Structure 1
Amino acid sequence: MVDRKKQKIRWFFPTNTNNIRMIIAQGLLTSPDGFQKYYIDALELKPGWIPVFKNSVPLEILDKCISERQNLTPCIVELNLGGVKGTAKTFKNSNWIDIRVEDVVGLHTKGIDSIYLPAPLPLSCFSSLLFQNNEDLIQFKNDIKNRSNVILNGLNLKSAKIDQLLFHGMGSDEKLFKDSNINKKNFENLSVNQDLFESSVSDQNLFQGSFTRKNFSSDSSDPQHLSETTFDDNGYLHNGFQRYGVDDYKRVFAFGGLLLNLFYFAKNGTLSNAVYHIIKGSGDVQDSEDIQGLGSVCGSGYVQGSGNVQGSDNVQGSEKIKKSMEKGIEFILNYFRDTHADMGALSPGEKIYHGLVTTAIRSQSFENFKEDMIIFLESDRWDEKSRSRVQSLTATLGNFEKIVDKSVSEQFRDAKTPLEKVLLMLFLRESSDALIDYNFSSDLLEQKIIDEKLVLQFAMLFGIRDKFIKSPPFLRQFDGLQDFISYKMAVYAHSKMKSDMEFEAPQVPPTLMDMMKNERFKEWFAVTSKIEDCFQTIINLPKGEHELKVANSGSSLILKGIPQLTIELMEREYFHKILKCKLESYEKYLARYRKATQ
């Protein structure tokens, strides 16, 4: 007989391969509200919560995972919950009770054969995908070849004999299903409201930034029971967690798209890298980097052109970065950090940015975004003071696609404000891929019509509009980046729903600018990329007299002591060149960086 105490504990989430493809594509295991297309699976047991089963999966639930239509294929996600902490629920003695995840994972806790985790979960918690036979596994591999946004990144696909037994009830405990008090009759009648994913943007709630505030009664014996709850003056739940709705998840996925784009465009300079690090810290106290602490992110120097502008300390350096930000960048930062002012206190320009960000989050497509943006600007919400400006902007947007005798570069020159330039790019290019591939003309850069701050706004808003699911596939293939961004989305979501869930952080991928803080890597990258003229070398000579030897064969300078060499980046020259370089060799750069730091 197998010693149960020595038996390895495994945790499973049952679903189907259609849902798995969507989960990987969107970057999170969410409740059904987070899916663009969802087929009934175990998530229906307690909406808003993720059921995971210990060592076996009830056959009734596996059957339900493939019940909605023909030709669905069952699949089981094996989860690694070793790095998960926080409050979960389990059903025991006819009641839902709170438990700590860290108290039951890895332990043979008597009477607990399943736990319910508040959604969402990051992809970094996925250990393996299990299939009932090799044919299903091979079919899954073939299916994802035609789906560029389903990127496994080393996720194990398994169909070992011991795993196949899970699909046939071997080792599963029928008592588990009975004791969970799940109403089988109700389960059979479960349905999904697909209209959720087809509803149009409602103009009247365009400015609503708060999250859906519903939760489940913790003392209910019915897993399907949903109740409204009350809040204190600070917006905290009196009982349980907030449940995420469709719009809430759109914001989280927009946050993921924003982070992915910022990671890539961080290559453009100190400011771009600093903004990525600020956003990366959103919702994570341990990783939080406020604007006032930017000096530690940017390093001690900020070189503009050939002039060296250095902050004497972190605060002074961060203030220089803060002053160099466009209002649009700062507003987007505050939007996702929930530190922007109330709508009534916003200036007309800030209201436009609020509507722009909100429309980008809620848009389902490129055309949908353009239509909703025009509707927003043509609404009657504007006062007399701002109406003429908004009408002018609306007319400009309407002319973007009608003008055929002007190039995009000429239209950029005609644009009067950074906001007009941002909208021009958003209306003429439909994806982050197209933005990355766009070739900005040298004269636009030389004349400062396009600069790092403006490209940074492009990157932020394209990422928000694309969201994680439509982000460039080559970006998500960067070593460790997909899991890290998924983790950050999960942290961000749980911070907004007042959950106490914590996840072990995966390895943090360094940006190109992070790597260039290493002098050896910086020198190698400059030579390899043929951009040596974007750097300047400062030689600090030691005190004392030095000797200059001149000979027919050449001259040499003899220094007493050891001089100090510093290689500094000339931001403007560097930006002009690096903007036109597509960063696809991340793994090569990362390998060289790791070697340089050994």
Structure 2
Amino acid sequence: MDNKPQTLFPINEAPPKNQKALKWRLVTNQRNLFYMLAAGMVMSPKGFGEKYYQDTLSSFPGWIPLFADNVPKAAIDLSVSERHHLIPCIVTIDLKNLHGGLVAMDIDGHAREIQFPDQLNSSKIALFVPAPLPVTWLESIAFPSKEEKLACEDDARDFGNVPLLDFKREIDSRLFSKTNDAPWPPSRVTLPDRDNVLNKAFSAGGIMAMLLHMGNLGDVGVQSCRLGFDPSGTDLSTIADPMLRELGSWLQTEPTLTNVNILPRLFWGVIDSVTACRSSVDTISPIDAVLGYLDTAAAGLDEKTKQILLKLTNDLRKLAGLGDSTITELFEKHTKPFSRALILFFLRDKCADLVEFRHPLMNEVDYVVAAILFAARDGWLGLPLVLRDAVGLQDAVAHRMGALAHRMAGSGMDLGEPPVRPMPLRELFTPGIRGWSSKQRDAALLLSRELKWIECIHTRINLGKGEYRMIIDGGGVQIILPGDVKAVVTEVEPSKFFTQLSYSKIPVKLEKRIRDMFKA
């Protein structure tokens, strides 16, 4: 009997000596892939909730197994074992920005912790990376055949939040045929379970996206958007509303608010309750989570504040049933952004509904506070592609969600510098000391012309000295003058422009043209 230890990977399939593997591959199936693309993160099973199909991610919960070049056939088989309709996918992930401690496995199946990438050497043929990773690190998605690739692309179109077509897709039958016979999962590897729910990261991603969409409303929208993406680099003195000012603390996972006014404490308590119910074992609805939290919070308030809150919760309960008050009546009764955000939360189901909603009694702070609440419910995962397609948004959000998840888990993983945040158009049009620059003036004129904001545009004609003759007829007014005009200047009035920008929907292609003008 041969007593030699089993070789996990055949010797002739190891990476060449002194050569680090450049391609790290994850084995999964198309349904898990779709979910991760929608979620913005490559993640472990708890991130999927109840929509997870067994694949290599379940072998070591909380760790992402990545193979150097060729993969075990057993890993492919495992990833499609749960349902007959599953299609195997092999995803190549770029780790160039990753730094920190992870577990690496050698050719004999022995695993040890290393500091990546400094301690990586050619003997390591698999990595176990603490989850999650930004989905934007995906370099390519490989399918076994043309038919399976097309089937996945057709399948993805049935989902309103799966950006499959944003990623490189290829047919590489070699990856699925040139496999190795190593067992999966490897018997010699033991790792601690570090699987975590990602509720807060999902909510944070949704909040960032919605704040970008609210950024054109005005200065409050711009400042809140800046805080949402870069909480540590934002001057809080520019944000007057106390509820919005605490967004930075919430995003940086600071302790529960205790030293602030009652409304910020209540608001962020509501946000936490809505966020937590996403993975609640009791499958509690966001509406019930809000009511339950407010009932509990009321017990700890002084009598005057308690009565005010009880009036609000009574009206909210009526809305949850068959309320008989109009939105206008409720807004006239409840004038605080906190109350109005909750009223809308009970009346509208999705972030897309809020983006389309307008009411004359709503002010800028009302909309921004409501956007945060709606985003906590939908999360990044629940946003349709139309609310994600701003240039640079997916890169910026996916990285920040992943970094937040690692911060909360205390993993010590460094995902590198976050991508530059996308700016609301309004921020791009912020005037300098001397007003708009030539780029800003040109972009404002193009936007006003394309959207027919005629009231924003005025034309100044400089005429030389002399006598002029005016003719008025059915076609309008003509001015007859000798010689040539000195100048015709078409300009945009900034105040009227910003008013139009605050409530107008900008087509995606036009917005890209405008943003490209600022890059030139």
Normalising by structure 1, we get a TM-score of 0.71
Q: Note the C-alpha offset of 1:332.
A: 3.2
Q: Note the C-alpha offset of 1:115.
A: 1.1
Determine if contact 2:27/2:76 at 8 Å carries over to the other structure: yes
Alignment partner, residue 100 of structure 2: 86
Determine if contact 2:61/2:195 at 8 Å carries over to the other structure: no
Which aligned pairs between 1:117-132 and structure 2 lie closer than 5 A? 117-132=129-144
Q: Note the C-alpha offset of 1:406.
A: 4.1
CA separation in 2, counterparts of 1:359 and 1:487? Answer: 24
CA separation in 2, counterparts of 1:361 and 1:144? Answer: 26
1:98 is the counterpart of 2:10: no
Could you list the per-position Cα deviations for residues 492-539 of structure 1 after superposition, in whole angstroms to 9, with x for gaps in the alignment?
A: 2223333232246556544312432442213322333344656999xx
CA shift in 2, pair 1:533/1:78, >3 Å: same
My pick for the range that moved more, 370-379 or 54-63, is 370-379
Q: Note the C-alpha offset of 1:31.
A: 1.2
Determine if contact 1:479/1:587 at 8 Å carries over to the other structure: no
Determine if contact 1:15/1:42 at 8 Å carries over to the other structure: yes
1:290 is the counterpart of 2:234: yes
Alignment partner, residue 261 of structure 1: 210
Could you list the per-position Cα deviations for residues 285-323 of structure 1 after superposition, in whole angstroms to 9, with x for gaps in the alignment?
A: xxx42225xxxxxxxxxxxxxxxxxxxxxxxxxx4x323
Alignment partner, residue 28 of structure 1: 41
CA separation in 1, counterparts of 2:216 and 2:207? Answer: 15
1:329 is the counterpart of 2:244: yes
CA shift in 2, pair 1:340/1:44, >3 Å: closer
Which of 250, 253, 268 is equivalent to 1:354? 268
Which of 391, 412, 421 is equivalent to 1:479? 391
Counterpart AA for 1:166: L
Counterpart AA for 2:215: A
Instruction: Give runs of ≥4 in structure 1 deviating > 6 Å.
Output: 5-8, 565-568
| Matched residue SS, 1:84 | coil
Determine if contact 1:48/1:118 at 8 Å carries over to the other structure: yes
Alignment partner, residue 186 of structure 2: 182
Count of residue pairs the alignment pairs up: 474
Which of 367, 370, 384 is equivalent to 1:458? 370
CA shift in 2, pair 1:289/1:504, >3 Å: closer
1:223 is the counterpart of 2:190: yes
Q: Note the C-alpha offset of 1:456.
A: 1.0
Alignment partner, residue 593 of structure 1: 515
My pick for the range that moved more, 89-98 or 513-522, is 89-98
CA shift in 2, pair 1:152/1:507, >3 Å: farther
Alignment partner, residue 439 of structure 1: 358
Determine if contact 1:124/1:506 at 8 Å carries over to the other structure: no
| Matched residue SS, 1:502 | coil
1:382 is the counterpart of 2:294: no
CA separation in 2, counterparts of 1:439 and 1:367? Answer: 29
1:552 is the counterpart of 2:468: yes
| Matched residue SS, 1:128 | strand
Could you list the per-position Cα deviations for residues 229-254 of structure 1 after superposition, in whole angstroms to 9, with x for gaps in the alignment?
A: xxxxxxxxxxxxxx4522xx010000
Alignment partner, residue 524 of structure 1: 446
My pick for the range that moved more, 55-64 or 472-481, is 472-481
Counterpart AA for 2:394: Q
My pick for the range that moved more, 521-530 or 427-436, is 521-530
Counterpart AA for 1:335: W
CA separation in 1, counterparts of 2:185 and 2:365? Answer: 57
Determine if contact 2:46/2:196 at 8 Å carries over to the other structure: yes
Which aligned pairs between 1:330-345 and structure 2 lie closer than 5 A? 330-339=245-254, 342-343=257-258, 345=259
Determine if contact 1:151/1:476 at 8 Å carries over to the other structure: no
User: Over aligned residue pairs, what C-alpha RMSD do you find?
Assistant: 3.6
Normalising by structure 2, we get a TM-score of 0.81
What residue ranges of structure 1 are gaps of 5+ in the alignment? 184-220, 227-242, 283-287, 293-318, 538-546, 557-564
Which of 158, 161, 165 is equivalent to 2:174? 165
CA separation in 2, counterparts of 1:50 and 1:32? Answer: 10
Alignment partner, residue 511 of structure 1: 424
CA separation in 1, counterparts of 2:408 and 2:144? Answer: 37
| Matched residue SS, 1:72 | coil
| Matched residue SS, 1:76 | strand
Alignment partner, residue 30 of structure 2: 17
CA shift in 2, pair 1:484/1:383, >3 Å: closer
CA separation in 2, counterparts of 1:327 and 1:536? Answer: 40
Q: Note the C-alpha offset of 1:125.
A: 0.8
Determine if contact 2:210/2:375 at 8 Å carries over to the other structure: yes
Q: Note the C-alpha offset of 1:579.
A: 4.2
Alignment partner, residue 279 of structure 1: 228
| Matched residue SS, 2:186 | coil
Which of 413, 417, 435 is equivalent to 2:332? 413
1:491 is the counterpart of 2:406: no
Alignment partner, residue 245 of structure 1: 196
CA separation in 2, counterparts of 1:340 and 1:104? Answer: 35
Q: Note the C-alpha offset of 1:357.
A: 0.6
Determine if contact 1:84/1:504 at 8 Å carries over to the other structure: no
What residue ranges of structure 2 are gaps of 5+ in the alignment? 1-11, 431-438, 470-478, 482-489
Could you list the per-position Cα deviations for residues 180-211 of structure 1 after superposition, in whole angstroms to 9, with x for gaps in the alignment?
A: 9822xxxxxxxxxxxxxxxxxxxxxxxxxxxx
Alignment partner, residue 581 of structure 1: 504
Could you list the per-position Cα deviations for residues 476-503 of structure 1 after superposition, in whole angstroms to 9, with x for gaps in the alignment?
A: 2333322332122112222333323224
Which of 74, 81, 91 is equivalent to 2:88? 74
Counterpart AA for 2:243: G
